[in-house]
Structure 1
Amino acid sequence: PPDRIVHDAGLNFNSKELRQHAGIFSILVKEVPVESHKSVVKIERYHVPLKRAYEIIKDELKNELQNEPITKDMILQMPLKL
């Protein structure tokens, strides 16, 4: 498990139950202000570029592959595959 979980001031990680379970594994849960985006985990930093890549791929596939079913999950995985 990770040593710490750093999150913004949203409600997703702000629960007593999460902090109790994290404490069992000696994981520090730290809330940082929204303005300190350098402190927030990598996933949140890469959200905008990934969303942009998703939109581009979705638009390109909409025109090319109308007959083949492509799910949103498949499109989301495409920018991550090298």
Structure 2
Amino acid sequence: MQLLTAILAFAAVAAAAPSALANPENLSYEAPDPCAPDRVKYWNTENTGGGWACTKNASGGCFSYYWTTVPPYWSCDTPQIPGLA
């Protein structure tokens, strides 16, 4: 009976403990760039209608991107068409 009580107590504590993986700041995952392959991401401090903000990971990179209309944010440059520059 004591063994069962100990197992149940351990399971309850383990279930109540927060998971380190549930917090994006603890992960070193780097989200893919939100810009198309032919565009370059740049830091935009002007109010140009919206851009990409990110949640940081443990190494300071972006764990995920989300759209925001409050600068500063990441924007994607206009692709250059060869011969029309």
- TM-score range (shorter-chain normalised) is under 0.3
Higher helix share: 1
Rg: which structure is higher? 2
